[in-house]
Amino acid sequence: MALETPYRAIFCDLITDQTLDILPLRDVSFDDYIGKAGSLSGTIPIPNKDIADRVKKVQEGRTAVYLERGGDLWWGGIVWTATLQSSGRGVLTLGVQAATFDSYASRRRIRTDISFTTPTDQLEIARRLWKELDVQDDPTVPLPEGKQPRRLGITYGTEESEVLRTASWRNGDETVYLEALDQLASLQNGFEHQILVYRDPADGKRVRQLRLGWPKIVNGATDLLFDRPGVILSYSFPYDATRGGTTAMARGASTNSNAGTESRPIHSTQQVASDLLADGWPLIDLSSDHNEVTDTLTLDSLAKRELAEAQGAVVIPSISIHLGGVVPPALIGRIARIRITDEWYSQGLDARYRIIGVKVTPPERGRPDTAELYLEEA
């Protein structure tokens, strides 16, 4: 990372969060989203043996990395791959690829029976799933006397929704925790989840917190204001009818136990956007597969949610902005008021959007510090 960058990369032990080193990171970019893990990529230069000995502490799968800007944490996650490279001139570098702490749920599988037979708040089920996957000790190996189970140190809130659900997962099905969470969240009247990193204002310690939002994650009490002309460098409003539809159906597991007959999956009833059809839209079909789902009511809920989020044409607007002191680190979930005046919006656009994704490109070799914000209508 160039010397003028306002960011610094802090590498830590994944389990204890103990700082291992602060190392230069060049050609870096990072992003974060609601609904999927964010990523970070960069290159650590290795000019001499002393630096090489320090860089050897960065071990894939067991090292966390944070990006800090002005004392605030802007990104945090797990180093999953590290690539040592030597150029033809003998220049050594270590390329690192990391993903936000959410990605850890994609590397754990449910290997114990988990059951919620009594209707339970869906956000409490999500917390319980994270607490289960967070345990780091093998349950088959007894803990030494006085030793507490190791965890990633995820903290939890007390968010509630108005939705009660039953759910169960069985040992042996090898269900990925993230798939279980996403399936629960994607049901009709579901929720959103994200791992947020920040410094505790009381003691300055780094915090990894599971943030849940029903029906959406919304952050901040006031709108952020972005203008063009002004702080907005560019914008894009892609309308994509290939990703949307006017009907939806969800398919589940095959329940046929007769080996002598054809095995076919169960499916939901067809969900229809009647308002769009009445307005002149053609039939455009959406379909999704959920091989672990065995009841049609759940499939109906999944199909309803899919159609609600992709009716007609899908649009995910984005704007590119200069990062400055007025832009806070916790952008995900904030409401942005976008004001644009140009040839297309000759009368002026003045609309509110929720920020659902952020991609940051730090300054380097004369390149400005910019962020691309991905939006949805608020």
Digit-coded pLDDT (tens) for 231-255: 999 999 999 999 999 999 999 988 7
Same domain for 360 and 234: yes
pLDDT tens digit sequence for 292-316? 888 899 999 999 999 999 998 888 9
Q: What is the pLDDT of residue 1?
A: 38
Asked whether residue 80 is domain-assigned, the answer is yes
Same domain for 336 and 300: no
pLDDT tens digit sequence for 31-60? 999 989 999 999 999 999 999 999 999 999
Q: What is the pLDDT of residue 292?
A: 81
* Structure token pair of residue 68: 């800090």
Q: What is the pLDDT of residue 183?
A: 92
**Three-class SS of residue 285?**
strand
pLDDT tens digit sequence for 136-157? 666 666 666 666 656 789 999 9
Asked whether residue 1 is domain-assigned, the answer is no
Domain boundary among the residues 261, 291, 313 is at 313
Identify the domain containing residue 123 by its residue range. 108-213
Q: CATH number for the domain including 126?
A: 3.55.50
Paired sense of beta strands 318-322 and 232-236, if any: antiparallel
Q: Which residues contact 201 (CB under 8 A, 6 or more apart)?
A: none
Asked whether residue 218 is domain-assigned, the answer is no
Beta bridge partners of 164: 121
Q: CATH number for the domain including 46?
A: 2.30.300.10
- Is the overall model pTM greater than 0.75, yes or no? yes
Q: What is the total count of domains within the chain?
A: 4
Q: Is the dihedral of CA 201, 103, 121, 148 positive or negative?
A: negative
Pairwise CA distance, residues 177 & 170, whole Å: 12
Same domain for 308 and 165: no
Task: Find out whether 20 and 84 touch, Cβ atoms under 8 Å.
Answer: no
pLDDT at 264 over 50: yes
Same domain for 362 and 347: yes
Same domain for 325 and 269: no
Q: What percent of the chain has pLDDT over 70?
A: 92
Least confident of 37-46, 125-134, 202-211, 319-328: 319-328
Asked whether residue 164 is domain-assigned, the answer is yes
Q: What is the pLDDT of residue 181?
A: 96
Same domain for 46 and 15: yes
Pairwise CA distance, residues 248 & 267, whole Å: 11
Q: What is the pLDDT of residue 137?
A: 64
Paired sense of beta strands 247-254 and 285-289, if any: parallel
Looking up tokens 């925790």, which residue turns up? 177
Q: What is the pLDDT of residue 294?
A: 86
Task: Find out whether 40 and 98 touch, Cβ atoms under 8 Å.
Answer: yes
pLDDT tens digit sequence for 212-225? 999 999 998 899 99
pLDDT at 177 over 90: yes
